[in-house]
Structure 1
């Protein structure tokens, strides 16, 4: 199987990649089913209307999962292994909104094959999630 991602020696600080997705009601329902997180703030409009959010919101981890999409498919891409992620949730995401997940390489440890990336999710140019990821990236085969 060919590796379509980057090898550790191909990466440079400042490289970045993006993935965008419009979150749908179906995404929220399916995420609840897969994760088991059936908190009514995600699923019940009447309940959610009485919260600080004044309506249903997407799961924070659904939004965060878009970062995994960028890492695993674009930068560094196929072959990288997720080692860690910090997350700070700044604002809710609602069905119908388009989330733009962005990752940017901050540091590279070529000897240990570790890459640290800044991770941000935005809706309409506003940060809704910020964090940092650590991934392991393969070396080019000899």
Structure 2
């Protein structure tokens, strides 16, 4: 097999894998939202995914405890947006899939923390500080799932 064919097969396999991961992530988020809405007997307060826009997320989080968060759809091609309250400010962080298939928050950074999936990311930041920035000031918060 020639060298360029080997490279082409590798590139196509990598792209296929990344596309499949993206489809699985979107599907999982949709199933989570649909399950919370469809199952009337379930405690919908436990679901941290909300099918709301930016302004509605800000209203939901306005008077909540520091670290309270929801995950909502993103207008960009991201996996979603993490909206979190800290010091009476609402931060909106894009949840994105990196080129290596892992999940990360915000803009791409050197030496950023990346996770296997969104659940792993949330579980990590529930017990480890998430650093957020506002007007040059840095603050830390632990994530706390939204409750009505």
**TM-score normalised by the chain length of structure 2:** 0.25
**Structure with the higher fraction of residues in helix conformation:** 2
Task: Flag the structure with larger Rg.
Answer: 2
State the structure with bigger RCO (CA 8 A, min sep 6), 1 or 2: 1
**Structure with the higher fraction of residues in strand conformation:** 1
